[in-house]
Structure 1
Amino acid sequence: MATISQGQQTDKLVANPLQQAPVDQKTDEQEEMAVGPLDADELRSLLDEVNSTLYSMNRALRFELHDQTEEVVVRVVNTKTDEVVRQYPSEEVLARRARLIEGDTSFFNMQVD
């Protein structure tokens, strides 16, 4: 193995495998994963794909607007039993937000010693 002393020049540059690529360069995978604003057709296409996948697992997505908080609620529902499998935000979070909107902050009261 040849060594290069200080001040000695070489025609070849040896890349350091630990050296990172410049920040402004993106790999093909990073380019594909970059998310920007979607137009309506792209969003419909993505939702169709998600719904098809979920349907094959007997699941469906439901988007609703919560009455008191006007928050968008997303529910994953079992299509055979119509049971809610998962919900975001949870009922507890929605209830707390509704109480805050009404001006009730009592659940924040805590005594600190």
Structure 2
Amino acid sequence: MITNTCPDLPKRTDHWILRILRILRRPKGSSRAPTKHTVEGVTVPEQPTIPPTERYLSVKEVAAILGTTERFPRRLIEERRIEFVHVGKHVRIAWSVLNAYITSQTVPARPARRAA
């Protein structure tokens, strides 16, 4: 139990109740965004931001695009041969990363040989 300093709340209550009440009292639109710092006049967020247009694919979707079983993308992830993101317990691969992987694995065609 902790003592509360807000005048309209009971003097002693559980900390989680205080936390919920403080959140409910915040003005609409306010949130606890990550703090930012300035580097040479440019404001930079502390955490990297993800482009809003980036699409993340599940292992099943990646396997369908590559025309393989689900085991192949999972093996790429396990061997760290492709970048991936953990979203909770799920694994996601960015569309741009998959395109880069396909491009890096593409073998150019040889010029045709003339028949002798």
| TM-score (ref. length: structure 1) | 0.26
* Larger Cα-atom Rg: 1
Specify which structure has the bigger relative contact order, considering alpha-carbon pairs within 8 angstroms and separated by 6 or more residues: 2
